[in-house]
């Protein structure tokens, strides 16, 4: 198990490194940040001065090596826009993003998993149909549309919730709700289909033939098996929350990583864009690592291999 | 004394589709007896087992008939203990929960059926594993099913069945998924345990060879009905139903002088929703008369304990 974790950890580092390199090169090849930062009417002298100031006049290889050398010392540059350390800029935004995505993820599990279990156990009943109908709605409306619909319903029409900003906890309700509706729809559908699959397995029939009560069959025999694929799906869900945050934060003017990212891309603030992509990647990599470890922990076939234990 | 197990007019249906998977079968089993149930794939052998074990899959229900299990405590004082039925399955590895250890599997059954827990349960689990021929039982308790071979997993299932101290063990194709050597060992083990514990054994197979080895009596199933029941010797030597005879004819032999290839049964098993009128076997039968299509034949006595549902039984 230890070697397994170590190997995954090493792989994660390689992913991070590859991302930095790829993003660096693509960003330098796709447009002129001086032109983007300064306005259209900037003089050629002003543009040249900007390029020299940020080292953009050197070759990409030179810029890349310099960037790496600094990065290894923990220096990821400063924002073109206001000259602050990029991680100061990002550091302000990470808690904002976590304050919508973490509650959204927890609620997604809290709603999606039990709803899926209910639908699977009460298959073909009204409860199942209600859950699946809700899931179809949540599943088929895109995040940004859902966000706009919620703003219209609760902020414009009913006037019970604020539509943009982040000053109070009420401001978080609509962004979280948007993420949860979409997330819980996916998770409940997946939980349902996985559990139905597990309930059809021969070892469940065997447990029934042994007279084990249905409740215990669900809790002790079926769910531990359904949890194995579900963990992978939850990993996708957590990753999807971060992606969703880009939309949702923009729609609700929520000052997190997502909206910050959109703004940095639009203004050509390369150092910030790079560091944000690195941050996103680091989140993704740690989610995957957690999923891999949980998957192995839950699954004896992975944890132990198939040699005779004796 | 009454039978240990008496099945009368059992009907099992999938109500959603209205199909009769089992259509009014009668079976009986005495204490310590071995009954073989044989028939082609899809004839309803497994459903019969599940019905008797009271564990039909969802969407399938018993809609008629009765299943009675009589315990030895008949007429005794106090409340007779519920006579127990245990079951083992065709594919042992997928019939064991992949996330539970062998130890957990056996110990939880010992708790459920005998109230044993902790060290008592562990010791008994080890004893059971050793009884079914698994050595190094102590370390094996920590193993998972995927670490064992199919044969070993079937032994584990048998140990688990024994934990219920069953009066009746149902073995649904217990050796179909195993290689011949292991198959022979498992059959031997079942026979030994049956003799040792005095339980009755209902063994299902589509392989008459397996039935011939173990059973005292056999019942031949076709399309959800029992077409013939007989003591095993009588069935093998003097099958009366043309389907039973055809099944025996397709048993392969290893006699070097017998150069004739086994004869397969012509045609194929009809679908449940499209059963032929009258005797369900008549389209594949070479003895059919006009009466065969009129009504389903009632069982007719052929000899002692020997009956067949056929208008034109094969007479020796
Ligand atoms: N869930 C189900 N719903 C409806 N019909 C079913 C279901 N499961 C099985 N059947 C039908 O019930 C009939 C009997 O099935 P059963 O499994 O008892 O056959 P079997 O004799 O055990 O065959 P095999 O030798 O393949 O195990 C089959 O025709 C099958 O199509
Ligand atoms: Mg079967």
Kindly state whether residues B124 and B205 are assigned to the same domain. no
CB nearest to A309's CB, from B89, B142, B157: B142
Nearest-CA distance A221 → chain B (Å): 7
Is B69 part of a structural domain of the chain? no
Yes or no, beta carbons of B94 and A201 under 8 Å apart: yes
Same domain? For A182 and A230 the reply is yes
Segment B117-171, tens digit of pLDDT: 999 999 999 999 999 999 999 999 999 999 999 999 999 999 999 999 999 999 9
- Secondary structure letter of residue B143 according to DSSP: -
State yes or no: pLDDT of A129 exceeds 50. yes
Residue B200's H or E segment, with its range, is strand B200-205
Tell me which residue in B95, B147, B160 faces A202 most closely, judged by beta carbons.
Answer: B95
Q: Does residue A102 sit within a domain?
A: yes
Of B86, B109, B147, the CB nearest to A307: B147
Report yes or no on B85 lying in a domain.
Answer: no
With CB atoms and an 8 Å threshold, state whether A206 touches B95.
yes
Per-residue pLDDT, averaged over A146-160, amounts to 88
- Number of C-alpha atoms within 13 angstroms, CB side, residue A265? 13
Is residue A138's pLDDT more than 80?
yes
Domain annotation covers residue B77: no
Domain-located, residue A211: yes
- pLDDT greater than 90 at residue A53: no
Residues A54 and A137 in one domain: no
Could you give the number of structural domains in chain B?
A: 2
| Domain end position, chosen among A16, A40, A71 | A71
State the closest ligand 1 atom to the C-alpha of B17, by its place in the atom list counted from 1.
4
Give the model's pLDDT for residue A307. 62
- Residue at A27 is within a domain: yes
> Are A125 and A60 in the same domain?
no
Domain extent, residue A128, equals: 89-267
Whole-number Cα distances in Å, A206 to A199, A211, A263, B7, B86: 11, 9, 58, 22, 10
Residue A283 lies in a domain: no
Residues A185 and A38 in one domain: no
Rounded CA separation B184/B170 (Å): 18
Residues B291 and B193 in one domain: yes
Closest-CA distance, A119 to chain B, in angstroms, reads 15
Distance from CA of A273 to the nearest CA of B (A): 44
CB pair distance less than 8 Å for A300 and B53: no
Structure token digits, residue A27: 């960003």
* Residue from B215, A153, A279 nearest A145 by CA: A153
User: Which ligand has the shortest distance to the CA of B39?
Assistant: 1
* pLDDT value of position B258: 66
Residues B143 and B253 placed together within one structural domain of the fold = no
What lines the ligand 1 site, CB under 6 Å?
B 14, 21, 39, 41-47, 57, 59-60, 206, 272
Q: Are residues B158 and B230 in the same domain?
A: no
Same domain, A66 and A93: no
Q: How many CB atoms lie within 10 A of CB A49?
A: 14
A39 in contact with B, Cβ within 8 Å? no
Whether A210 has its CB under 8 Å from any CB of chain B: the answer is: yes
> Which CATH number covers residue A213?
1.10.3720.10
Q: Are A257 and A309 in contact (CB under 8 A)?
A: no
Domain annotation covers residue B259: yes
Q: Do B91 and A310 touch (CB under 8 A)?
A: no
Interface of B with A in 120-179 (CB under 8 A): 136, 139-140, 142-144, 146-148, 157, 160, 164
Residue B5 lies in a domain: no
Q: What is the DSSP letter of A85?
A: B
Residue B109 to residue A210, Cβ atoms within 8 A? yes
Answer yes or no: is A231 within a domain: yes
Same domain, B171 and B105: no
Give A9 Cα–ligand 2 centroid separation in angstroms: 47
Tell me, yes or no, whether A249 and A206 share the same domain. yes
- Give the pLDDT confidence of A90-124 residue by residue, as tens digits: 999 999 999 999 999 999 999 999 999 999 999 98
Contact residues on chain B for A211, CB-CB shorter than 8 A: 54-55, 112
Closest by Cβ to B99, choosing from A207, A211, A300? A300
Whether B52 and B118 share a structural domain: no
Q: How far is CA B166 from the centre of its chain?
A: 15
Same domain, A224 and A182: yes
Q: What percent of chain B shows pLDDT beyond 70?
A: 93
Are residue A100 and residue A243 in the same domain, yes or no?
yes
Name the closest-CA residue to atom 22, ligand 1: B46
The answer to the question of residue A123 being in a domain is yes
B141 with B273, same domain? no
* Domain shared by A105 and A14, yes or no: no
pLDDT at A309: 46
Distance B40 CA to ligand 2 centre (A): 9
Q: Which two tokens stand for residue B59?
A: 């969407």
Residue A225 lies in a domain: yes
Q: Is residue B68 in a domain?
A: no
Residue B227 and residue B271 in one domain = yes
User: Do A34 and A94 fall within a single domain?
Assistant: no
Helix H or strand E segment including B220? strand B217-222
Closest residue in chain B to residue A228, using alpha carbons only = B99
How many whole angstroms separate alpha carbon B198 and alpha carbon B158?
15
State residue B79's pLDDT score.
Answer: 39
A168-174 contacts, C-beta under 8 A, 24 or more apart: A171/A252, A171/A254, A172/A99, A172/A100, A172/A103, A172/A254, A174/A147, A174/A150, A174/A252
- Measure in Å the smallest separation between the Cα of B304 and chain A Cα atoms: 34
A135 and A22 in a single domain? The answer is: no
The answer to the question of residue B134 being in a domain is yes
The range of the structural domain enclosing residue B147 comes to 96-165
pLDDT digits (tens, 9 = 90+) for A254-287: 999 999 999 998 888 889 999 999 999 999 999 9
Q: Do B87 and A206 touch (CB under 8 A)?
A: yes
Spatial CA neighbour of B171 closest among B102, B90, B232: B90
pLDDT at A310: 45
CA A90 to chain centre: 16
How far is B92 from B149, CA to CA, in rounded Å? Answer: 9
DSSP β-ladder status, B85-88 and B200-205: unpaired
Ligand 1 centroid, distance to B205 Cα (angstroms): 14
The torsion angle over the Cα atoms of residues B225, B230, B233 and B236, rounded to 10 degrees, is: -30
Residues of chain B where predicted confidence (pLDDT) is lower than 70 = 1, 71-83, 253-256, 258-259
CB contact under 8 A, A203 and B98: yes
Tell me, yes or no, whether A54 and A117 share the same domain.
no
Same domain, B242 and B123: no
Q: Does B55 touch chain A (CB under 8 A)?
A: yes
Residue A150 · residue A178 · CB < 8 Å: yes
> Among B119, B148, B165, which residue terminates a domain?
B165
Among protein residues, the one whose CA lies closest to atom 26 of ligand 1:
B41
> Mean of the per-residue pLDDT values for chain A?
89
pLDDT recorded at residue A166? 84
Rounded mean pLDDT, A189-193: 96
Contact A301/B98, CB-based, under 8 Å?
yes
Would the pTM count as exceeding 0.90? no
Residues B154 and B289 in one domain: no
Question: Is B177 strand, coil or helix?
Answer: coil
- Closest Cβ opposite residue A304 in set B50, B94, B144: B144
Number of domains chain A contains: 2
């Amino acid at each position: 198990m230890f070697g397994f974790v170590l190997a995954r950890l090493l792989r994660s580092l390689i992913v991070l490194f590859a991302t930095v390199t790829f993003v660096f090169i693509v960003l330098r090849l796709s447009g002129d940040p001086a032109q983007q930062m300064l306005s259209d009417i900037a003089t050629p002298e002003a543009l040249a001065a900007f390029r020299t100031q940020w080292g953009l006049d050197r070759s990409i290889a030179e810029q890349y090596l310099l960037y790496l050398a600094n990065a290894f010392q923990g220096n990821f540059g400063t924002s073109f826009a206001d000259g602050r350390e990029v991680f100061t800029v990002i550091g302000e935004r990470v808690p904002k993003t976590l304050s919508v995505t973490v509650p959204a993820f927890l609620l997604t599990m809290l709603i999606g998993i039990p709803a899926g279990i209910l639908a699977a156990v009460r298959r073909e009943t009204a409860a199942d149909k209600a859950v699946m109908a809700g899931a179809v709605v949540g599943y088929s409306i895109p995040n940004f549309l859902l966000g706009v619909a919620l703003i219209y319903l609760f902020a414009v029409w009913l006037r019970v919730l604020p539509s943009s900003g982040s000053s109070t906890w009420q401001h978080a309700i609509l962004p979280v709700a948007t993420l949860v509706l979409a997330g819980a729809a996916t998770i409940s559908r997946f939980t349902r289909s996985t559990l139905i699959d597990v309930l059809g397995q021969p070892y469940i029939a065997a447990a029934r033939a042994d007279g084990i009560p249905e409740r215990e069959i669900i809790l002790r025999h079926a769910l531990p098996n359904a949890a194995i694929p579900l963990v992978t799906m939850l990993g996708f869900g957590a990753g999807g929350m971060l992606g969703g945050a880009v939309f949702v934060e923009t729609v609700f003017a929520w000052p997190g990583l997502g909206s910050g990212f959109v703004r940095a891309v639009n203004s050509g603030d390369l150092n910030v864009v790079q560091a944000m992509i690195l941050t996103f990647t680091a989140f993704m990599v740690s989610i995957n690592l957690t999923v891999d470890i949980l998957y192995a922990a839950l699954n004896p076939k992975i944890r132990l291999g198939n040699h005779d234990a004796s | 004394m009454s039978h240990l197990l008496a099945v009368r007019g059992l009907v099992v249906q999938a109500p959603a589709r209205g199909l009769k998977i089992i259509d009014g079968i009668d079976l009986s089993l005495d204490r310590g007896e071995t009954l073989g149930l044989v028939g082609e794939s899809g004839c309803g052998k497994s459903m019969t087992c599940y019905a008797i074990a009271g564990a039909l899959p969802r969407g399938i229900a018993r809609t008629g008939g009765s299943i009675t299990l009589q315990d030895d405590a008949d007429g005794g004082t106090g409340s007779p203990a519920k006579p127990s039925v245990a079951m083992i399955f065709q594919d042992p590895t997928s019939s064991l929960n992949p996330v539970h250890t062998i130890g957990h599997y056996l110990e939880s059954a010992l708790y459920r059926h005998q109230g044993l827990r902790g060290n008592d349960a562990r010791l008994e689990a080890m004893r059971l594993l050793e009884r079914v021929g698994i050595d190094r039982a102590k370390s094996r308790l920590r193993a998972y099913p995927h670490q064992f071979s199919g044969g070993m997993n079937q032994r584990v299932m048998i140990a688990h069945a024994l934990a219920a101290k069953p009066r009746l063990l149902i073995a649904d194709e217990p050796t179909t998924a195993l290689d011949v050597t292991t198959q022979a060992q498992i059959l031997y083990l079942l026979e030994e345990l049956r003799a040792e514990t005095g339980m009755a054994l209902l063994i299902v197979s589509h392989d008459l060879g397996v039935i011939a080895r173990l059973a005292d009596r056999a019942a031949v199933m076709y399309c959800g009905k029992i077409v013939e029941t007989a003591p095993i010797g009588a069935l093998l030597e003097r099958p009366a139903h043309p389907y039973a005879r055809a099944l025996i004819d397709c048993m392969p032999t290893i006699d070097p002088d017998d150069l004739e290839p086994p004869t397969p049964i012509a045609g194929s098993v009809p679908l449940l929703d499209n059963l032929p009128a009258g005797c369900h076997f008549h389209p594949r039968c070479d003895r059919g008369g006009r009466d065969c299509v009129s009504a389903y034949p009632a069982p007719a006595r052929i000899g002692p304990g020997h009956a067949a549902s056929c208008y034109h039984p094969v007479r020796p």
